Structure 1
Amino acid sequence: MRVTAISKLRTASETRIIDEMHRLRARIFQGRLSWNVRCVSGREYDEFDDLEPTYIITLSDSDAVIGCARLLPAIGSTMLGTLFPQLLHGAQLPAHRRMIESSRFCVDTGCEEGRAEGPLHTATLTMFAGIVEWCMANSYTEIATATDVRFERILKRAGWPMRRLGEPTMINETRSVAGILPADAESFERLRPAGYHSTPPVLQHRAA
């Protein structure tokens, strides 16, 4: 299992990985979670995919996509500010140049690889560590996100507690909350699972 970062597509392999990522998002968000998301030909996209994000991707030993997240600078257009401002309860996202927004996080926890190695799937911890590693390499210190209270508990169990930006609010049928996560060496060391492996693109700046 390894984690990588992809922004601008440079190779056929990266194009295949991103296509598979959109398929995973459709299976998880529309299929498993029944979210009201836009899917075309079995792939989930939204307008934030058009803003040149960086994708953090976890790949299995057979190079299948088993985890993903999307990162965009918090000083630009964000899901929190555009789609879920109710989670900020009338306040503004405290965005700054060293804050990134993470969205569309998902993991195929049905993958056998890494399933029985601890209370959380290894792919989940690998994703967490990969996000933090990329943030540190690119001078980001905080991660803003909108999530649900179930996933908030997973973050806490992983040793990466989220600082809430407000009380939970119902969005459709999901009890949702916004918060800030630290991106620092202490968090990385606490989160990364045994055998954690990232490929060099995680260390490259998104504008490179």
Structure 2
Amino acid sequence: MMKAKKWMALALSAAMAVGMLTGCGGTGSAGRSSLNTSSVNSLIKEADSKVRVSSDAELNAAMDETIALMEQGGMGKNGESLHSYLIGVRNYKSGSNRKGASFVLTESELEAGISADWIASVVNTQTNYSVSTTQAGAIAPIDTAEKVAAVAVLSVSEQLDPIVEQIGGKCTYNVSGKTLKTKDETVYWLISIEIVVDKL
């Protein structure tokens, strides 16, 4: 674990040196799996929510760049390293109308099921938005990347959307997720959600 964190720190240092992303296209290495946005929307609909998510080209590019850097080093297991990089690239900061939350999970962790409370806690910690898990029951068990993204979006939208709508604003939700295989053949899912609030 310590070795992985050390490598992750080195990868992040390199990432910060790169500066702003170049907006290049592509989906990364051959055989890499990506989050299915349509499936995320279907799951959210099943939870009786009107929220819909989108795939954002710039967020996807940021994920590709992060994965490329992570492939050079180690891998953190709680999403903090991924989030730390995206903070600078995507302008997630206090007072910004753009916030995000990120998760790094192994395929085996996903197969075992992820706690809705844990997902909501990560969203709360990384965005400072209030969260709720009352709609997560419709998506249980949370055992796919799409379900993690759906629960993450629902955890914040239930609390945030009514407040923003009261001031005539609107929330837009972007999602991105891709797999990464490390040298020891462990497959990780990197998952990010992004909340953009109009008229914050």
TM range (shorter): 0.3 to 0.5
TM-score (norm 2): 0.33
Task: Give 1 or 2: higher helix fraction.
Answer: 2
Task: Give 1 or 2: higher strand fraction.
Answer: 1
TM-score (norm 1): 0.32
Question: Greater RCO between the two (CA within 8 Å, min separation 6)?
Answer: 2
